Amino acid sequence: MDLFKEQKKIGYHLTLFLRLNGYSKSSFSNLTDISRPTLNLILSGDIKSATTFRKHMEKITNTLELPIDYFLEPPLVIGEAWQQPEVQYSDRAAKERSKDVQDILGKLDDLLDIASLYL
């Protein structure tokens, strides 16, 4: 099975999974030991290397104790608009920003994710 060809779909389903299960990007990044910029690439389906994508998907599914193809299908509960992923602009220039700025922007993204739960 070639997960790499389905990375946009997997990224979308993983984003829904994170929101439905109360994970912020930072908490999930820490849990899986995947950097925030790499996690953002996974969620947007923009990883350039099939090997890298597969390695990180194995980390994610092993951490959650799920089968490797779990995110090919959407989570069972799909509901309100706040659960739908939106475009992330803040991480596009992550390589040009200092680590402190990246950390602050990551925390702001987490706050916005939490705030969206209450809208």
pTM: 0.65
In 3D, which of 67, 49, 45 has the Cα closest to residue 58?
A: 67
Task: Tell me the residue range of the domain where 95 lies.
Answer: 3-116
What per-residue confidence (pLDDT) applies to 38?
A: 94
pLDDT of residue 95: 54
The number of distinct structural domains making up the chain is 1
Percent of the chain with pLDDT over 70: 78
Q: 62-101 as b/e, with b when 16 or more CB fall inside 10 Å?
A: eeeeeeeebbeeebeeeeeeeeeeeeeebbeebeeeeeee
User: Is the torsion defined by CA of 19, 21, 22, 26 positive or negative?
Assistant: negative
47: left (phi over 0), alpha (psi -120 to 50) or beta: beta
Task: Please state which of the ranges 74-78, 90-94, 96-100, 115-119 shows the lowest mean pLDDT.
Answer: 90-94
Q: For residue 57, give the CATH number of its domain.
A: 1.10.260.40
